[in-house]
């Protein structure tokens, strides 16, 4: 496992600065929202594994830039098909 260091992060939901680990972009107050949205995306991708960020955004009403952040965090992993960011 990779070692993780605490650093100043900016929450991708509320924009507040907080102390967190590199690779995460969610403050404690937004953790529930973050997990909820992430679960929605994951469920959607199980049904439609070849969707791209724009299709996910249209279907779930989630901001595209937010979806891209999940990809940057390495939380959205695709085991089949090709995934293009846009």
Q: Which is nearer to Zn ion, 35 or 50 (CB)?
A: 35
Rounded least distance, CB 70 to Zn ion, Å: 15
Q: Which is nearer to Zn ion, 24 or 52 (CB)?
A: 24
Rounded least distance, CB 5 to Zn ion, Å: 20
Rounded least distance, CB 69 to Zn ion, Å: 12
Question: Helix 31-47 crosses helix 53-60 at what angle (to 10 degrees)?
Answer: 110
Smallest CA-to-CA distance from 73 within 18, 21, 8 is with 21
- Would you give the DSSP letter of residue 29? G
């Amino acid at each position: 496992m990779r070692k993780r260091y605490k650093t100043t992060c900016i929450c991708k939901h509320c924009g507040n600065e907080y102390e967190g680990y590199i690779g995460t972009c969610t403050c404690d107050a937004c953790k529930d929202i973050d997990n909820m949205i992430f679960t929605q995306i994951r469920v959607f991708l199980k049904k439609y594994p070849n969707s791209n960020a724009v299709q996910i955004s249209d279907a779930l009403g989630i901001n595209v830039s937010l979806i891209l952040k999940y990809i940057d965090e390495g939380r959205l992993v695709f085991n089949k098909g090709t995934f293009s960011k846009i």
